Amino acid sequence: MADKHVVRFEPVGIEIEVGEDQAVLRAAAEQGLMLMHGCKEGQCASCKSFVLDGDDIELDRYSTFALPDYEKEEGYTLLCRAHVYEDVTIELLNFDEEMIRSGLPIVNAVAEVVANDPVTHDLRHLVLRLAEPKELTFFPGQYVDIAVPGAEATRSFSMANTSSRDGGRLEFVIKVYPDGLFSHFLDTRVAVGDRLSLTGPFGVFTLREGHGEDLLFVGGGAGMAPILALLRSMAERGVQRRATYYYGARRRRDLCFEQELRALEKTLPGFRYVPALSEEDWDGEVGLITDVVRRHEHDLRNTHAYLCGPPPMVEAAMPLLTALGVPQKHIYFDKFTTTG
């Protein structure tokens, strides 16, 4: 059994024990602590923290975009990659008191494929039914890691549904890359009745309660999945907040869940769905999704924003939303970073 050390998190004053064989983020999650994170693979920088005390920390492989060498030398670390070999104190730079103690247990599960259908030319709608255990509780907007059959690899996919009405069903929207390890396999090999192993839930892209602030969602590509989950949960709970969903696609053939989103405009009184195409003229919005947001929105000071999709879209939207007045701490995002 691996030696364990105490990790103290400031300014929240929480201590946990972490085995040398586990990354700090994973150990925290297993002990019910939901620290800020995204990719869990050293790519997105969401878990970046500062080491206040302790030197003996080693990092698994990570991207220097997420943690440049000069930051590492200054004392920053990535909790998803960090293994500690002595007691340490870590300052959480980015944390959410509402979320931190709301961690749900992480479960290893096996699920059966119920449907695997195209929703656009390159997006698939994968539906799983949990076999063992039969149910999984997750917050709308969270994701699971699905094991790639026959490879020692996992890929993260966000649930598009909620677990409140049927905790045994997991719905995903997955982009197919021609040479993608998992997505190509999904496209060509996965059939109804097949079994997949998964672990979760993970992720902090969940709806914060707030005090009636407006909501702004910006999504692109498969970023549809967790945003759909948030909207579906708002409909289930009758959330009345004013909300706008800007969804960026290239062409008409890339749009999906149109009927459901239009129906949500009727169910949710304050909700508006604004799709935009960047490569085709039509009778809707045209342009990059960030340009469309810029055209429509002028004062977002009383707004919580949720961004999800490819990293370049999320990175382009963040400074725009800050410039339009969304407080930094109320910009929530999931970057769909890739491993391949």
Ligand X SMILES: Cc1cc2nc3c(=O)[nH]c(=O)nc-3n(C[C@H](O)[C@H](O)[C@H](O)COP(=O)(O)OP(=O)(O)OC[C@H]3O[C@@H](n4cnc5c(N)ncnc54)[C@H](O)[C@@H]3O)c2cc1C
Site residues (vs ligand X, CB under 6 A): 38-39, 143, 155-158, 172-175, 177, 179-183, 203, 222, 225, 310, 334, 336-340
> By CB under 6 A, which span of 43-51, 250-258, 280-288, 290-298 interacts with ligand FES?
43-51
Residue 80 interacts with which of ligand FES, ligand X, none, CB < 5 to 8 Å by class: ligand FES
* 293 token code pair: 């947001």
Contact 276, 294 (CB under 8 A): no
Q: Is 43 in the site for ligand FES (CB under 6 A)?
A: yes
Q: How far is CA 159 from the centre of its chain?
A: 9
N-term to C-term CA, the chain: 32
Q: Which does 331 bind (CB under 5 to 8 A by kind): ligand X, ligand FES, none?
A: none
Which of these, 147, 207, 139, 222, lies nearest to 177 by C-alpha position? 222
Q: Return the number of the residue (43 or 154) whose C-beta is nearest ligand FES.
A: 43
> Does 51 participate in binding ligand FES (rule CB under 6 A)?
no
Taking CB under 6 A as the binding criterion, the range among 34-42, 103-111, 189-197, 258-266 that sits at the site for ligand FES is 34-42
Query: Which two structure tokens, joined as six digits, stand for 104?
Result: 């749900």
Asked if residue 47 binds ligand FES (CB under 6 A), the reply is: yes
Cβ of residue 11: shortest distance to ligand X, in angstroms?
Answer: 26
Count the neighbouring beta carbons within 10 Å of the beta carbon of residue 97. Answer: 8
Rg (CA), the chain: 20
C-alpha triplet 286, 291, 292: angle, nearest 5°: 55
For residue 139, the partner it binds in ligand X, ligand FES, none, with Cβ less than 5 to 8 A by kind, is none
Residue closest to 299 by CA, chosen among 207, 216, 211? 216
38 binds ligand FES (CB under 6 A): yes
- The full DSSP string for 134-149 is S-----TT-EEEEE-T
Q: Which is nearer to ligand X, 82 or 173 (CB)?
A: 173
Token pair recorded at residue 151? 């490879």
* 28, 33, 44, 207: which one binds ligand FES (CB under 6 A): 44
Residues forming contacts to ligand FES in the complex (CB under 6 A) are 37-40, 42-47, 66, 78, 80
